[in-house]
Amino acid sequence: MRKILIVEDEKPINDLIKLNLELVGYSCEQAFDGTSALARIGTEEFDLIILDVMLPGVSGFDIIGSCGDTPVIFVTAKGDISDRLEGLRRGADDYITKPFNILEMVERVNAVLRRARKADDVVSFGDVTADFSKRRVLKGGEEVHLKPKEFDLLEALVVNRNLALSREKLIELVWPMDFDGDERTVDIHVRRLRQKLGLEDRLITVFKTGYRLQI
């Protein structure tokens, strides 16, 4: 399980990030000021650090120099281009401005960890095992053939597991920009995943929203 340090002095935001990242399978630790963050970075190992810029004690721009090779995502209310460039110049792997969409946060965390080769390539739940690097799915030890878009949909659901995803969001994640179908396409692919992988009890319909893979 990947370990993430969230450094954010606003407790409601810190707690929100922690809650949603833990829902999708990450282990999260919290720091609420720059001084305590530096102490933890110096004594513990993390796979990713989510770092606010404006912190009590020591700023995020000053902390990043102590993060070594650990990937860093800056999260801040500062939206000015000069602040973005400063964060990237100091070595940040990504930069998100407040307010942010929590699904965007999860996607960016996943993307940074994949680039750093710290994302989980193999995920198991029940008797299903999905190997994303090899694009293979096993059920009860037997390989199940999924069509390309069925596999892409499964990956989107697994990456965002335990989060409700709208049909519009799934179309955005799975289908190309020139997609000319409609939301029924999502429903058809979900039905096929349920049938092929026995996910009737895990792949849940969220009323008036979309779907959630419960793991």
Average pLDDT per block of 10 residues along the chain, 215 residues long: 94 95 94 96 95 92 93 83 79 88 89 78 91 92 94 93 91 78 87 96 92 93
SS3 label, residue 99:
coil
Residue 115: the pLDDT is: 82
Whether 212 and 164 have beta carbons less than 8 Å apart is answered as yes
**Tell me: domain 3-115, CATH 3.40.50.2300, correct?**
yes
Residue 202: the pLDDT is: 94
Whether 159 and 113 have beta carbons less than 8 Å apart is answered as no
Domains 3-115 and 122-213 share a fold: no
Segments making up each domain of the chain, as ranges: 3-115, 122-213
As a whole number of angstroms, the distance between CA 11 and CA 186 comes to 37
Percent of the residues in the chain that have a pLDDT greater than 90, as a whole number: 64
Give CATH for domain 122-213. 1.10.10.10
As a whole number of angstroms, the distance between CA 5 and CA 36 comes to 11
Q: Which residue has the tokens 């750093």?
A: 116
As a whole number of angstroms, the distance between CA 202 and CA 204 comes to 6
Whether 49 and 4 have beta carbons less than 8 Å apart is answered as yes
Helix axes 184-197, 167-174, angle to 10 degrees: 80
Q: Which residue has the tokens 């989980």?
A: 120
Residue 35: the pLDDT is: 95
Residue 178: the pLDDT is: 66
Report pTM: 0.75
Residue 4: the pLDDT is: 97
